[in-house]
Amino acid sequence: MGWFWGDSKSDPVNKLEPGLRDYLEQEQPDKYVPAGVNPTTPTPTQTSQPSDPAKPQVPAASLYQDGRYAHLWKTYRPPADIDENDGVRGAERVIEKHKERGDTVQRAAMENCALEHEALTYCFKTGNWRKQIEARLTLCSAENGTFSRCFTTQTKFLQALGYASSFNYDAEKEERIQMHADKLYHQMLDYEKRVEEAKAAGVEPPPMASLFHPEKQPPAEKKPGLEIPGGEPIPAGFKPSKPLQKLTPHERELEIRAHYAQLEQQKMYVEEAGPFMKTQDNAREKRREKAVSWFGETIGNWVS
């Protein structure tokens, strides 16, 4: 009966060709898992590692390591982690960095405007019923305006100073830039306050120094035209977020510095994606040459 039932000691799969045997092994069904059992659930033999209570709840890029604003950073990944884990290269790496930078700059600006945001929140929630009704009717316009200007201007300062612009992540460098942006913003506010006090007292306002180049002495006499601290010239093709006439002198200087930082960022992106773009151009040229040899120059250039 061994011929009919087969020899239980021999494995008929071993008689197959190696290629067919490998294919059958790859195509065999997955191991059966009973319903209601999560295959990712650790077995009793697996021990879970307890979380480290001393580990901060926010990444090193955050200025507040005590866990504040953790919800703003929960989707953040440093560029070093993106490169190491995802293998993002060339143009894909540039696109990923561009998207990630915008979110990171806004999170840092929100942290720098924490007090202004807190004041806006308290405006809606605190006080007696009269104050709360008044807050809803006016939408807390004063607090809202203060916070909006803080967030917008702090974002500009961060961009102008190169926050989160490098492909090589450095937590200490990013923290220094974030703190410096906050410092420059409050220096700007302090100067505006001193100008208002001087006007109220009927005296000359204090000389205006550059925020980005404080070593430059302000001119003795005002020149005709728009005043820009540090004598910063208006670059060609410059498109500010608002007309320069509607901005304060320090805001004009900030717009120009952010413009130059954006140009530098674009240059760095092009250099990073350069090898990939060159490879794409070479591949496109080869496709064109092949299409021209098949269909002629007119059709070949069109289909490639």
What would the pLDDT profile of 67-107 be if each residue is shown by its tens digit?
777 777 777 766 555 544 443 455 666 677 777 888 899 99
User: Is 68 part of any domain?
Assistant: yes
User: Is 296 part of any domain?
Assistant: no
Q: 295: which 2 tokens?
A: 């269909």
Question: With contact defined as beta carbons under 8 Å apart, do 249 and 208 qualify?
Answer: yes
Distance from C-alpha of 153 to C-alpha of 248, rounded to nearest angstrom: 12
Number of domains into which the chain is organized: 1
> Residue 66: which pLDDT band, with cuts at 50, 70 and 90?
confident
Instruction: Indicate the range of 4-8, 29-33, 53-57, 110-114 predicted with least confidence.
Output: 4-8
User: Is 67 part of any domain?
Assistant: yes
User: Is 65 part of any domain?
Assistant: yes
User: Is 286 part of any domain?
Assistant: no
Look up the domain containing 265 and give its range: 58-202+249-271
pLDDT tens string 261-271: 999 988 887 77
3-class SS at 111? helix
Distance from C-alpha of 165 to C-alpha of 162, rounded to nearest angstrom: 5
Distance from C-alpha of 85 to C-alpha of 77, rounded to nearest angstrom: 11
Q: How many CA atoms lie within 13 A of 298 on its CB side?
A: 0
Q: How many CA atoms lie within 13 A of 190 on its CB side?
A: 9
User: Is 187 part of any domain?
Assistant: yes
CA 142 to chain CA centroid, nearest Å: 29
Q: What is the pLDDT of residue 85?
A: 42
Q: What is the pLDDT of residue 186?
A: 97
Q: What is the pLDDT of residue 5?
A: 45
Distance from C-alpha of 120 to C-alpha of 227, rounded to nearest angstrom: 33
User: Is 295 part of any domain?
Assistant: no
